[in-house]
Amino acid sequence: MRFLAVAVAVIAALAGPARAAPWVMDPEHAVVTFRGNHLGFSMVYGTFRELSAEIDFDPENIEATKVRFVIQAASVDTLSKARDKSLRSKEMLDTENFPEIVFESTAVAQTGPQTADITGNLTIKGVTKEVTFQAQLRKIGPSPFDPSKTVAGFTVSGTIIRTDYGVSFAAPAIGVEIPFQVDLEMSPAQ
């Protein structure tokens, strides 16, 4: 019986390239930050406090990577209750009717030893557009607290044109281009 299991594993390995395996994001070490121009006078900084992810990753075959990020839109926090209420309103993110911001990758292209472009579909306020973001591997290796656990840290960044998604209130006086960054740590699923 053991021989049969080994034979099946060998045949499966020879049948095609290895697939990316599931990795799990560490929610304690994951954050989405963004900034926007306020009337040309200042920059407003914010974060989304609730992010989840489904990640298939193979460090030896970056282009096999697949990701799906889901942000709870109502978790927006700009350190101003009045501004956060405005961002959740129908004129902006309309979080009551569109509770999630979703990005799902369709292709990953390695651009350097520690960088890649991630192309996919971004859905905000019920509008889906194809976008490409930049990813940078910060570090991958054993955790210093548990050497049996592998950890990979990434930064994903890009710019969203909010009016493309129907988030048009006070544009262009309030910035239309919204630079953002996702910082996260992840480990292979057990």
- The domain limits of the chain are 19-188
Per-residue pLDDT at 190: 81
Per-residue pLDDT at 18: 52
User: Does domain 19-188 sit in CATH 2.40.128.110?
Assistant: yes
Tokens of 93: 């993110």
Q: Poorest-confidence range of 8-12, 102-106, 142-146? A: 8-12
% of the chain surpassing 90 pLDDT: 88
Round to whole Å and give the CA distance between 111 and 1: 45
Round to whole Å and give the CA distance between 70 and 36: 21
- The stretch 60-88 carries a mean pLDDT of 97
Tokens of 103: 């990005």
Per-residue pLDDT at 130: 98
pLDDT at 3 over 90: no
Round to whole Å and give the CA distance between 80 and 58: 40
**55 C-beta neighbours (distance < 10 Å), count:** 22
Does residue 124 contact residue 94 with C-beta atoms inside 8 Å? no
pLDDT at 49 over 60: yes
- The stretch 163-189 carries a mean pLDDT of 96
Round to whole Å and give the CA distance between 63 and 57: 9
